[in-house]
Structure 1
Amino acid sequence: MGGEALTAEVSRAFWLSACLTVILGFWLVPLLRQLRVGQRIRTDGPARHLVKAGTPTMGGITFLGGMTVAVLSLARHQPDGIVVLLVALAYGLIGFLDDFLKIIKGRSLGLRAREKLLAQVLVAAGLAWWACAFAGRGTDYVLPFSGFWEVGGVRFDLGFLFFFFFTILVLVSSANALNLTDGLDGLAATLTAIAAGFYVFIALVVDKVGVAVALAAVVGGCLGFLVFNRHPAKVFMGDTGSLALGGALGAAAVLTRTELFLPVIGAVFVAETLSVILQVVSFRLTGRRIWRMSPLHHHYELKGWSENKVVLIFAFWGIVAGILGLSGLYRLG
């Protein structure tokens, strides 16, 4: 497939996913409101969030629908693209069950932590097996800044067992990091659109057309979702959406052999996750908190930043991280 044809295919995936997400949103958001599928708000969080109580959640169904149609229409002969979609749908289903139990069934914590983790691990294990058995992924890794673009980069291989467990770590970490980031109107969708956009370019560089098409659909779905999720949000994506998006990014990293690039491109997600971990560790060891509240976006809210300001500044750093991650395709020096 030539360069112009590739660009057109990626563009079609973006627009089809974006348009379908918006169309589904105009139908689904009122339905969710009618069904009273409302988000419960943390009472220990920023006071301004209390007005969001009852805002419909599980809105991730909208962009999952758009992504599914786009990928099946444009990448049905590209197994890598189908696999990225399947991982997203599997993680989305885990999130949907969690949302359903919390909101519809009234179970305060949704799925039990071990149930959720086990389900995520099983999906990731399936991806690891498929990548080696059918996708020709191999078990090697490419070091960032070692010349991936020019000469194939510096590679190292620690065998299948390491690859198997590291793939599980990548997917579970990616999904839950994105889940932690989904705490402000438009934040998770904006940051995912940025990270996935950079990964579209990486997928094209390493000739993973199906992955590029799937991620273009992710970008389109996220931007379409922002029609309803930007501040003040009419709907939240819920675990249905956040786990799905994290799963898609993790799967793309595995299939493009760029797992070590993902923490760079997704540096804002990493920072959000570390803020939670360090906050918990600090409080347990010293009885003191490092930040006013974690994840990090709530800290800045409590300092007086508006939600839009937090999203814009985090998006800026997301773009910086993406540029740095792309530069990792080249050799330093």
Structure 2
Amino acid sequence: MNEYVLAITMAIAFLITVLISPIFIPFLRRLKFGQSIREEGPKSHMKKMGTPTMGGIMILLSVAVTTLIMTSKFNNSSLSFEVLLLLLVLLGYGLLGFLDDFIKVVLKRNLGLTSRQKMIGQVIISIIFYIVLRLKDFPTYIQIPGTSIQWDLGWGYALLIIFMLVGSSNAVNLTDGLDGLLAGTAAIAFGAFGILAWYGYPQFEVTIFCLAVVGALLGFLVFNAHPAKVFMGDTGSLALGGSIAAVAILTKLEILLIIIGGVFVLETLSVIIQVISFKTTGKRVFKMSPLHHHYELMGWSEWRVVTTFWLVGLIFAALGVYIEVWIL
């Protein structure tokens, strides 16, 4: 596989998203699938109310179609178990997010699915993912990044997979709070894993999937950058979070997900710290969590927060690639 295939993959996903968005966004608006805004959120976000959501459907469609086209055209074989697993997670978590969005925007229940319902769905998909891996005798060890040190977890690997898929989907979901924030940071993170899947661990299908996601997200950014004309909703964020964890698992870079997905980790930690601090001391560490809202309330413009987080995400991604490729 050469660089032309990689460029073609991103171009196809980008074009699919850009071409269907002008059709899909008005359709969502006519159906009144508008975003609900949390009352406890920043007041400046109230102007976003009514902006079409569920735009994640466009991302999922673009990624799935591009992945199927490119893997079948250049691999000349039936779908590999890697592609099937990646699409299982992408579409499975996407469906879960769609149900959550549907309840919010159509049934007007702002919180969507209950935490328990969402957790059950996430765990079920994670278990199916693990079962398929074990049927293919997938190794159960984890490796310390930048070293040859391995640790076989045995049955504990199942718990790790559940933790990674559920935790990553929720962490990425928390990051989706500003125009273009998640689309940009996720594109950077998937790009890093795409490089590693191609350069360090030659896996054609995983590389194609990652670059399809990058292309789709860049196309989505055309309409999601500030001021956003559409939001991806949980349909997109849960699918992206689960998918990036699945990519990390299939490339045996489980630990590196913490570094490459550093922005998502920081966003999650800010929520955990805020909750623990408030419940134990009655005081808040941040003006508001997740972390991006803290900087908004400090007076930063939305675009400044987003571009800063993109830069931080790029640094984390470069660090992850450096550790795994250049150190070795």
TM range (shorter): over 0.9
**One-letter amino acid of the structure 2 residue matched with residue 294 of structure 1:** S
CA–CA separation in structure 2 for the residues paired with 1:90 and 1:309: 34
Residue 99 of structure 1 pairs with residue 110 of structure 2: no
Equivalent position of 1:115 in the other structure: 117
Deviation digits for residues 133-191 of structure 1, max 9, x if unmatched?
Answer: 22x42101110121xxxxxx2111021x2100100100111111110000000000000
Match for residue 33 of structure 1 among 23, 26, 29: 29
Segments of 4+ in structure 1 off by > 4 A? Answer: 330-333
Equivalent position of 2:60 in the other structure: 64
Match for residue 126 of structure 1 among 128, 141, 149: 128
SS at match of 2:192: helix
Q: Is the 8 A contact 2:270 2:290 kept in 1?
A: yes
SS at match of 1:329: helix
CA–CA separation in structure 1 for the residues paired with 2:307 and 2:49: 24
Residue 179 of structure 1 pairs with residue 181 of structure 2: no
Equivalent position of 2:188 in the other structure: 194
CA–CA separation in structure 1 for the residues paired with 2:275 and 2:57: 32
Residue 228 of structure 1 pairs with residue 230 of structure 2: no
Matched ranges for 1:78-97 at <5 A: 78-97=80-99
CA–CA separation in structure 1 for the residues paired with 2:252 and 2:100: 31
Equivalent position of 1:149 in the other structure: none
CA–CA separation in structure 1 for the residues paired with 2:32 and 2:240: 24
Count how many residue pairs are aligned between Structure 1 and Structure 2.
321
Q: Is the 8 A contact 2:38 2:110 kept in 1?
A: no
- Offset at residue 113 of structure 1 (A): 1.0
Equivalent position of 1:278 in the other structure: 273
Q: Is the 8 A contact 1:143 1:154 kept in 2?
A: yes
The runs of 5 or more residues in structure 1 that have no matched partner are: 147-152
Q: Is the 8 A contact 2:196 2:325 kept in 1?
A: no
- Offset at residue 126 of structure 1 (A): 1.2
Matched ranges for 1:1-333 at <5 A: 5-76=1-72, 77-134=79-136, 136-146=137-147, 153-159=148-154, 161-204=155-198, 205-330=200-325
- Offset at residue 11 of structure 1 (A): 2.0
Deviation digits for residues 201-259 of structure 1, max 9, x if unmatched?
Answer: 11112121101100100001110000110000001000000001111101000101111
CA–CA separation in structure 2 for the residues paired with 1:214 and 1:43: 37
TM-score by length of 2: 0.95
Deviates more, 1:102-111 or 1:61-70: 102-111
- Offset at residue 107 of structure 1 (A): 2.6
- Offset at residue 78 of structure 1 (A): 3.6
- Offset at residue 10 of structure 1 (A): 2.3
Deviation digits for residues 63-109 of structure 1, max 9, x if unmatched?
Answer: 11111110111124443133212211110000000101111122332
Deviation digits for residues 254-312 of structure 1, max 9, x if unmatched?
Answer: 10111100010010100000000110000000000000000000000000111111111
SS at match of 1:141: strand
TM-score by length of 1: 0.93
- Offset at residue 332 of structure 1 (A): 5.8
**One-letter amino acid of the structure 2 residue matched with residue 32 of structure 1:** L
Deviation digits for residues 34-83 of structure 1, max 9, x if unmatched?
Answer: 11111111222212111011111000011111111101111244431332
CA–CA separation in structure 1 for the residues paired with 2:145 and 2:129: 23
331 and 26 in structure 1: CA distance in 2 versus 1, 3 angstrom threshold = closer
Equivalent position of 2:76 in the other structure: none
The runs of 5 or more residues in structure 2 that have no matched partner are: 73-78
**One-letter amino acid of the structure 2 residue matched with residue 280 of structure 1:** V
Tell me the percent identity.
Answer: 45
Q: Is the 8 A contact 1:200 1:216 kept in 2?
A: yes
SS at match of 2:92: helix
**One-letter amino acid of the structure 1 residue matched with residue 62 of structure 2:** G
